Structure 1
Amino acid sequence: MTQQGEYAVVVKSGALDAVATVPGSKSIAHRALICAALARGDSTIKGLPVGDDTQAMLQGLMMLGATFSLDGADAHFEGSIDLDRMDAITVDANLAGTTARFLTAIGALRRGAITVTGNESLRSRPMRDLHLALEQLGAGVSWQNEKYYLPVTVRRGKSYSHSVQVAADTSSQFVTSLMLIAPMLDKGLTIELTGNIVSLPYIAMSASVMKSFGANVRILDERNIVIDGGGYVGCQFAVEPDASSASYPFAAAAVVGGRVCVNGMSSNMMQGDSRFVDVLRQMGCEVLEDQVGITISRHAN
């Protein structure tokens, strides 16, 4: 970087020979942060990505009473959020839609009311399907301005349904929001997905992260998910490298020739974008996986 906002671009001729490190997956990190904040016992999450969205999630969890410390890209959580606190709080998600959706759902668990808001852009996004599902569950939901938009206030209900329907044709995050709070309900939750389902791999990702924290999640088919009560248990959790970011250096090796290794990548990752490696293999690239990561190689022309 030369001056603020300016970067020097180095043009390299010939075949590549490089090792790359990409940030952790934001999608996985946000799910893990929620699980860690709700889990019994201590948790350490390694490899958090740096960015405004991660910062918004951490600030929101701090407002909820989560106790954690940061050490570089790692976060250590001590115990769980006290969901019986009576104080009303307001969380500003700024631009972070994931933070707004996930923390809105946590409002259904907390005795004191949570008001979730954001900047003008986020306040213009409809949250109807999530808010309807939380009402159906039994939570108290109210709006400061327009119905089904932020700011929204959510309160713990007197009793909860054991099953809920949620539209899955707009965003898988509405489904994930309900999944994340389900283990904290005494009798768990059965979730039925309606509409044309989008982003099914992200729902599977949510289940995988939750299972790492001890949740019992069963995806019966593409429309039915059963999650038992019993809560989460703290653990050591490593955030996978972001597979989408890794696709760029991998593609460079395929186009230019040579070899590129991306640290931490593996063939059994949660992210659907990790299958890009299979596409490169079909194109004739050599794929080598070892303890370091995955290396893509192709002979230069």
Structure 2
Amino acid sequence: MNLYLTKSEIKNPKSKINITGSKSETNRLLLLQALYSNLVLENASNSDDSEVMLEVLKNFQLPTSNSQLFDIHHAGTAMRFLTAYFAIQEGKEVVLTGSSRMKERPIQILVTALKALGATISYEEKEGFPPIKIIGKNLNQFKVTLPANISSQYISALLLIAPKLEQGLEVTLEGEITSIPYIKMTLALLNEIGVQTAFESNVIKVDKLKTLNSNVITVESDWSSASYWYSIVALSEIGTEIKLSSFKENSLQGDAVLVEIYKHFGVATTFENSSILLTKIENSNLPVTIELDLKNAPDIAQTIAVTCFGSGLACHLTGLHTLKIKETDRLEALKTELTKLGAIISVTNDSLTLQPAEKINENVSIVTYQDHRMAMAFAPLALKVPIVIENAEVVSKSYPTFWEDLKCVGFLFD
């Protein structure tokens, strides 16, 4: 489905949008819920990724044969987390596969780490990539070393199963750590259910859980999804206000840095009870160039780059090396699509540099590359020019009601 967005404006300056629970938190908690069945989740994400993970875990727990095949489609988080989960399910044999793109996304670092702990995992097709066969067993080792600059999902996958290991787990990270907030999120959620953890220097320790101390956990709404609303407010008229719920001032999510980052674009954030109020204010001190290191929040890079382009600002974004192995190569995708819109942009393996644009080309058709964040990051440009979003349904991966929510505030579709 291609969606044509005509040039729009915010019609309701006092809009309120309810955003579903964080996909990152939900997927971690779904795995913990599978390990500890009396754990209850509230405000869980309704994203495709979370629905896929929930469905797999439910089907796995049904009485069936000891050998099962699960297709997780495009759900990268599910692939990483379920690999670790199935590795400790004694006596069960599982094959995990996914979409053609998933078969191109590396899994070897996690598989090697699990094997070092005693897991039995093999590759069904290409070495280092899904699909993989996992024979669950009791893991008898408790120490493992990983490169520190890898996707935090590999590390979190190991940490999430650690409370079930007889001796817990000690993870040593070598080098500079990427995406620390996501690791800290995982540890905080473990702490919330009663797991003792420590994170000192480059060593993470997780103890075996003896007693579950919290049976009900409310998932905070997704800051990554909030990023598109920050972009919308940034590209709107002064005085525009949009309220989003439900968010915490002391969030576990790394993307909560949006509060500080979008001050550069004249967006003020006010915390009100469990909501945030975004307000476009007059900002006479806009920087000539936005310079940000996003190694701790790479998922908002696309949103920020498009906001800069729509605002006529230059930017230099670094710390983006993990974007190469997402649903698509997000750096190359950004370069291709922004260039069509009239941008002067260059990318490296871990950075993006954008020059101020004199104008934005109208009626450009944005290819989304089966990537939900490409669709949602570019949509706010409809506040400036008509734009086409190809395969718009891809947003269901993380934010199924995105287009309906845009209509509620005044976006126009043909």
TM-score by length of 2: 0.61
Within 2, Cα distance between the matches of 1:158 and 1:241? 35
Counterparts of 2:100 and 2:30, CA distance in 1:
25
- Does 1:287 pair with 2:266? no
Please tell me whether the aligned partners of residues 95 and 131 of structure 2 are also in contact (alpha carbons under 8 angstroms): yes
The aligned length equals 279
> 2:59 matched to 1:63?
yes
1:237 aligned partner: 217
Which residue does 1:266 correspond to in 2?
Answer: 248
Q: Which residue of 2 aligns with 1:226?
A: 205
CA distance in 2, matches of 1:277, 1:40: 36
Number of the residue aligned with 1:28: 25
Counterpart for residue 217 of structure 1 = 197
Residue aligned with 2:41, SS = strand
**What is the 5 A alignment of 1:112-123?**
112-123=92-103
2:8 equivalent in structure 1? 11
SS of equivalent to 2:230? helix
| Structure (1 or 2) with the greater helix fraction | 2
Query: CA contact under 8 A between 2:268 and 2:281: conserved in structure 1?
Result: no
Of 276, 280, 293, the match for 2:258: 276
Deviation at 1:131, TM superposition (A): 0.8
Alpha-carbon distance in structure 2 between the residues aligned to 1:13 and 1:125: 39
Q: CA deviation at 1:243?
A: 0.9
Does residue 238 of structure 2 align to residue 257 of structure 1?
A: yes
- Structure 1 gaps of 5+ residues are 67-81
Relative to 1, partners in 2 of residues 1:115 and 1:274: Cα closer, same or farther, differing over 3 Å? same
Q: Secondary structure at 1:35's aligned position in 2?
A: helix
2:232 corresponds to which letter in structure 1? A
Change (3 A) 1:161 1:172: same
Post-superposition CA distance 1:226-249 (Å, at most 9, x none): 000126736212221111221332
The one-letter amino acid of 1:138's match is: G
Structure 2 unmatched runs, 5+: 284-414
Q: Which residue of 1 aligns with 2:48?
A: 52
Q: Structure 2 vs 1, CA of residues 195 and 35 (structure 1 numbering), >3 Å: closer, same or farther?
A: same
CA distance in 1, matches of 2:281, 2:11: 11
Deviations 1:79-114 (A, max 9, x none): xxx9xx981222221221111111111122111222
Please, what TM-score do these two structures have when normalized by structure 1?
Answer: 0.82
SS, match of residue 107 in structure 1? helix
**Deviations for 1:192-211, whole angstroms, at most 9, x for unmatched residues?**
11244321211111111222
Are 1:154 and 2:134 matched, yes or no?
A: yes
Q: Residue 77 of structure 2 aligns with which residue? A: 98
CA displacement at 1:286 relative to structure 2 = 4.4
Q: CA shift at 1:19, angstroms?
A: 1.6
Alignment partners' CA distance in 1, 2:105 and 2:168: 29
Please tell me whether the aligned partners of residues 39 and 231 of structure 1 are also in contact (alpha carbons under 8 angstroms): no
- Pair 1:185–1:10, CA change in 2 (3 A): same
Aligned 8 A contact 2:220 2:248 in 1: no
Question: How far is the alpha carbon of 1:16 from its aligned partner?
Answer: 2.7
Structure 1 pair 7/241, CA: closer, same or farther in 2 (3 Å)?
farther
User: Residue type matched to 1:144 in 2?
Assistant: E
Letter in 2 for 1:44: V
Question: Separation in 2 of the partners of 1:99 and 1:184?
Answer: 19
Output the CA distance in 2 between the equivalents of 1:13 and 1:126.
42
1-structure distance, mates of 2:281, 2:76: 43
Give the letter aligned to residue 265 of structure 1. Answer: F
CA RMSD of aligned residues (A): 2.7
Q: Determine if contact 1:118/1:151 at 8 Å carries over to the other structure.
A: yes
Instruction: Please give the secondary structure, in 2, of the residue aligned with 1:120.
Output: coil
Aligned AA for 1:242?
D
Structure 1 pair 86/8, CA: closer, same or farther in 2 (3 Å)? Answer: closer
Between 175-184 and 15-24, report the one with greater CA deviation.
15-24
Aligned to 1:71: none
Q: CA deviation at 1:39?
A: 1.0
Give the fraction of aligned pairs with identical amino acids, expressed as a percent: 28
